[in-house]
Amino acid sequence: MDLRCRSSRHAQSIIHVEGKTIRITVFVDAYRGTPIPIELRKGELAAPLCWYKVMVLGIGDDKGVPAQNISMSILAFFGPALEDYVALAALAIPTIQKLCSHLTVKEFHTNHWAQTHNPTR
């Protein structure tokens, strides 16, 4: 994956999967005009970009997973941010409840960046 900033506001991510090429705009003001460090691509940006890649390209790599392997029986915690307009709690909670039999849900009145929006909670 090639991530390079093209302006002061965004970077173009060029992804090649199964012969398809797609460009995704990634907003990264801190790295104007320079390649994004590999540490960020491996750690913080790799997983979100993979999710978008699967969604945009319609890869559907989960279709071959047996139903019994999709759910979890371990203890799980989900802390949705109720003021998050990217990952909607109303959609996420029922989906996660189907997948996790021992789920604890604690809703937070914060935005998408819950830890920085209300660090005392």
Q: What is the pLDDT of residue 21?
A: 67
- Give residue-wise pLDDT tens across range 17-72: 667 766 655 544 444 455 666 655 665 666 667 767 776 777 777 778 887 888 88
Contact indicator for 104, 75 with CB cutoff of 8 Å: yes
Is the distance from CB of 88 to CB of 114 less than 8 angstroms?
Answer: no
User: Tens digit of pLDDT for each residue in 71-89?
Assistant: 888 899 999 999 998 889 9
SS3 content of the chain, % helix, strand, coil (to 5): 30, 30, 40
Mean pLDDT of 4-20: 52
d(CA 6, CA 82): 34
Does the predicted TM-score (pTM) go above 0.85? no
The span from the CA of 55 to the CA of 64, in Å, is 16
